Amino acid sequence: MIDLVNKDKIKVGLFGLLIIIIVGTFGYHLIEGWNFLESLYTTIQTISTVGYGDYTPRTWEGKLFTIIMIIFGVGTMFYTFGMLAEAMVEGRLRALAGKGKQEKMIEKMKNHYIICGCGRIGQLICRELKADKMEFIVIDSNPDVIQKIEEEGVFVYYKGDATQDKSLLAAGIKRAKGIICVLPTDAENLYVILTAKELNPDIYVLSRSVEEASEHRLLRAGADRVMSPYTLGGMRMAMAILRPAMLDFIEITTSRQSLELRMEEMSVCDGSPIIGKSLEESEIRHNFGLIIVAVKKDSGKMIFNPLASYVIEKGDKLIAMGEDENVARFTKVCVS
């Protein structure tokens, strides 16, 4: 990869070299009377210091012109090719150093997420996970995507094909908590799901579905959840027309930028002081100003608007709504 500074210098050098070749070709044509091919041939010989001697200037004007060409042309050529060599060597060394650094970071990861594909949706997912300070690694084979990631320097990545076993193993799939498949086609996502479940049967798999008909196939292949951005987008747009106030509420409670109200999912872990207590006894609303709008059980059953007498159990996922500061405080005290 060539940095922007080197790119600009190389562009200037190449432009200068082109100007010298054009001036040299027309100069020899006008001064010595050679045709354009002979003039171009002599110009290249002169600035490259080859000097076969088959074409030499015979007039004093031509000799003076050649001296000027040597002074400016040879210097410009050496400068340009020197910059190219330097950029390639630096880029190679930087790539090797970066690869070693990425491999060390991946080796330290545990209970992380693997994102297969870093297109538009993949980038949005990365942004959200990074904002939540979750460990994740991106797998992508697109050189442009990898270059962008390297320039930004914010994601851990592995350059490779996510449908291949070696790429998933290199990304630490056996230690990973979940994998997100957002590759361009359903066939690629299907293959990744099958491979991921084979390498780590306990991993949580979230997949994107491009075609509506593919959703059932992806679920049968082992995906825990399949989502279609097009279906979700269509439903959201319809809600904006039919129930705009409800959409506003959802956006306020789910947006990270909202400081007034936020909805968050929190798992009740072993050792939490609220286990075995009812919602009323836990005083979640009184002490933290939070409203528990739903509880998801380990079995997958969802309890909406639970009663005050509901007894909290280990493994429950509490869907709480309140101010961001209170959500963070409750998570620290009662959930972790």
Q: What is the pLDDT of residues 100-120, one digit of tens each?
A: 566 777 788 889 999 999 888
Is 113 in the same domain as 180?
yes
Other CB atoms within a 10 A radius of the CB of residue 39 amount to: 21
Q: What is the mean pLDDT of the chain?
A: 82
Positions of E strands within the chain: 113-116, 136-140, 156-159, 178-181, 204-208, 225-227, 262-267, 291-296, 302-304, 317-322
Is 137 in the same domain as 229?
yes
The pLDDT value given to residue 205: 95
Residue 73, C-beta contacts closer than 8 angstroms, at least 6 positions apart: 17, 20, 24, 43, 46, 47
Mean pLDDT of 122-147: 86
Q: Is residue 55 part of a domain?
A: yes
- The CATH code of the domain that includes 185 is 3.40.50.720
Q: DSSP 3-state assignment of 328?
A: helix
Residue 68 structural domain: 4-99
Percentage of the chain lying above the pLDDT 90 cut:
16
Q: What is the pLDDT of residues 9-68, one digit of tens each?
A: 777 778 888 888 898 889 888 888 888 888 888 888 888 877 777 778 888 888 888 888
- 315 alpha carbon, distance to own chain's centre: 32
Look at the chain and report how many structural domains it folds into.
3
Please report, for residues 48, 68, 325, the alpha-carbon distance to residue 37 in angstroms, rounded to integers and kept in the order given.
16, 20, 76
Whole-model pTM over 0.85? no
Q: Is residue 246 part of a domain?
A: no
Q: Is residue 250 part of a domain?
A: no
